[in-house]
Structure 1
């Protein structure tokens, strides 16, 4: 369904540190600087994620109510990614744990250094 997701970043080195930590804990490699250093990108067979400075030159902003979910293989990976994100400059938006709305799911929420909201998610077993 998705080809890519891009979020705004006001500090590309801080974004790279944060996403290298979070996505690294989920088994993805280190991000690559893109656009002459105006962003950092992470490619997988399922799509592309990037944190970039806005092309229009205006300040980046985050969506109120918007959340980007990253898949985790299990609760341990959720815990590790959440801890890595906090250690790399993120803030907690919801501690790791079961998600009652979705029985069997386990997740955690973070905000990156710019304020973009992320969910690290281990989906319920089918």
Structure 2
């Protein structure tokens, strides 16, 4: 199980604007501190945490943050409409488009996805794979 994912950011205000445009809609809460931004799903009393957490932090070595070539973090949306809405919100919050919402020929018939870059260049996917919604071929 993946416990957490961390991406680096040089401009924490820009990162906060970008990630708070869509992560709260996916039920992630935000805690801010001198170490950066920490997003986590709610924990019901007496239950274990739901992973993964997502962290946006300055680099530990003080050098500029950079996006990994081939690295991507994907967040599951509730449905196709939410993928579209959150993609638009993330673009309005400083992200850049890497792939408009839609189906991709290389994936399953119900895999509906969009791709973005955060202000630092980290690649983000927002997807839904709900078999009760219309699929690529229908």
Map of 2:47 onto structure 1: none
The answer to whether 1:62 aligns with 2:67 is yes
Deviation by residue 1:30-87 (Cα, 9 ceiling, x = unmatched): x2213x1x41110122221011100111110111111110011110110111001000
Instruction: Provide the residue aligned with 1:112 in structure 2.
Output: 118
Q: Does the 8 A contact of 1:53 with 1:60 survive in 2?
A: yes
Which string of whole-angstrom CA distances, capped at 9 and with x for unpartnered residues, describes residues 80-116 of structure 1? 1100100000000000011221221100000000000
8 Å CA contact 2:79, 2:130 repeated in 1: no
SS of 1:22's equivalent?
coil
Higher helix share: 1
TM-score (norm 2): 0.83
Q: Superposition RMSD on alpha carbons, in Å?
A: 1.5
Q: Does 1:83 align with 2:74?
A: no
Q: TM-score, normalised by structure 1?
A: 0.90
4+ residue runs over 3 A deviation: none
Structure 1 residues 124 and 99, CA gap change in structure 2 (3 angstroms)? farther
> Deviation at 1:124?
5.3
Q: Which residue of 2 aligns with 1:97?
A: 102
Unaligned ranges ≥5, structure 1:
none
Describe the SS at the equivalent of 2:91: helix
